[in-house]
Chains A and B, each alone.
Chain A
């Protein structure tokens, strides 16, 4: 039994959901795999839970011309099987465990913004765009500006995260996710998503998303900048990754010192980039 009582609603349209979320202390519920533990620990005490599972517009994936739309209610198991980018499949597969992946959703994981969440790192690598709908209409927020801090996002209390926009994989692209798991919880002590596009032997586009290391998942822009134009050789990667943790307050806890985390983060990044490069070169 969850200690604090709350009301529960199951809207069938986004419009209804927005109205309900406009009530005081209302909270959206997707798969519940992050929210339910918070409720049980009294770390969240909403007065109203708005279960989004009956809203058909939040489901499925669509391929548009040069973009892919992933509905907020797409579950980790579905991503692991059929996401169009390998980095997303690998990050979904690395999330939680079998039971958690069955219920957990991409929209929930994104809105929850866990500092050690796996999917945010993949979404940052892909320069994904978050789509949200609220009383004032729809807006699109780049993922690096969506995540504001630990468990803190740009999403307003009465907005519904409806889906994510990703680029279509072009020829010459590759991506991968690498992670060091904390043995007991499975959360990332360090995790890195990488995406590269290679044209005529040079890297023309790159994305690096880092999780588990700082106070929030982030895009390693300085390192990305150093890789563009290079052939992604070992020396290029090593030089670029010196900037991987630039400006980041590397966290320290009982499981890993800041120094160890930083080292493991660079290792994950090296492996993720190497694997992405190998895929890009086919």
Chain B
């Protein structure tokens, strides 16, 4: 069936079988292999992408369900924020995970970052507890989560200083 959607800002048209999952389209058709498949039972969150700005599990929806939607994967994340906010070309969340050692093997990282994106959009300054709740849909088997929590809170500060939310939209708020 004909499918049309936006992926990382580009219009994509494909003829897909109904049983194609969104993650299959991203990885196999569009070669956006940053999005991972970790469990196939929708528990691990490694396949998390942004769908119309919200974190969803791309292994738990059909590509056709995303008809007309706007999808952002880890490959397109940095393009959401202005260049001057990037650190060595990375989105503040990516940079914070790098700087705080928020990963070891890195397999969960793309999903983790996109979930954190959703969290920080809703809650610009989450407490440690709120970060832990915010990433409950993402499993990491290496880090023990502590550096991930540090990284998310660090990114929150960077985004606040830049006056934007993680999707790059201006955010009005008093300084911390």
B-binding residues in A (CB < 8 A): 1-8, 10, 29, 32-33, 36-37, 39-41, 49, 51, 53, 96-100, 102-103, 184-186
Proximity string of chain B (8-37) to chain A, C-beta cutoff 8 Å, 1 when within and 0 when not: 000000000111110010000000000000
- In the complex, what distance in Å separates the CA atom of A53 from the CA atom of B69? 13
The interface residues of chain B lying within 8 Å CB-to-CB of A186 are 136
A212 to B2, CA, bound (A): 41
- Report yes or no: B60 in contact with A36, Cβ–Cβ below 8 A: yes
Q: Which residues of A contact B17 (CB under 8 A)?
A: 1, 5
Interface bits B122-139 vs A (CB < 8 Å: 1, else 0): 000000000000111100
List the 9 closest A-B pairs by CB distance, nearest first: A97-B137, A8-B18, A2-B19, A99-B137, A99-B57, A97-B136, A36-B60, A98-B137, A102-B54
B161 at the interface (CB under 8 A from A): no
Task: Assess whether A98 is in contact with B65, with CB atoms less than 8 Å apart.
Answer: no
In the complex, A51→B19 CA distance in Å? 13
Which B positions have Cβ atoms within 8 angstroms of A? 1, 17-21, 24, 40-43, 45, 48, 51, 54-57, 60-62, 64-65, 67, 115, 118-119, 134-137
Within the complex, the shortest CB–CB distance from A27 to chain B, in Å, comes to 12
From B41, B67, B119, A98 is in contact (CB under 8 Å) with: B119
Q: Which residue of A lies closest to B58 (CB)?
A: A99
Nearest opposing residue in chain B for A75, CB measure: B54
B55 x A37 contact (CB < 8 A): no
Is there contact, CB below 8 Å, between A5 and B119? no
CB nearest neighbor in B for A93:
B133
Task: Please judge, given known A-B contacts A36-B60, A99-B48, A103-B61, whether A5 and B42 are in contact too, CB under 8 Å.
Answer: no
Q: Decide: B115 and A98 in contact? CB cutoff 8 A.
A: yes
Q: A residues within 8 A CB of B134?
A: 98
Extra contacts, 13 of them, besides A5-B19, A32-B60, A99-B56 (Cβ < 8 A), are A4-B19, A6-B19, A10-B67, A29-B62, A29-B65, A40-B40, A49-B18, A98-B118, A98-B136, A100-B57, A102-B56, A103-B60, A186-B136
Q: Quick one: closest A residue to B41, CB to CB?
A: A37
Query: How many angstroms between the C-alpha atoms of A210 and B90 in the bound complex?
Result: 48
In the complex, chain A residues whose CB is within 8 Å of the CB of B61: 32, 36, 103
Q: Is the CB of B115 within 8 A of A33?
A: no
A33-B60, A37-B60 known; A53 vs B65 contact (CB < 8 Å): yes
Q: How far is the CA of A97 from the CA of B39 in the complex (A)?
A: 15
A-B contact pairs, 9 of them (CB 8 A): A1-B20, A2-B19, A6-B19, A29-B62, A49-B18, A98-B55, A99-B115, A102-B56, A103-B60
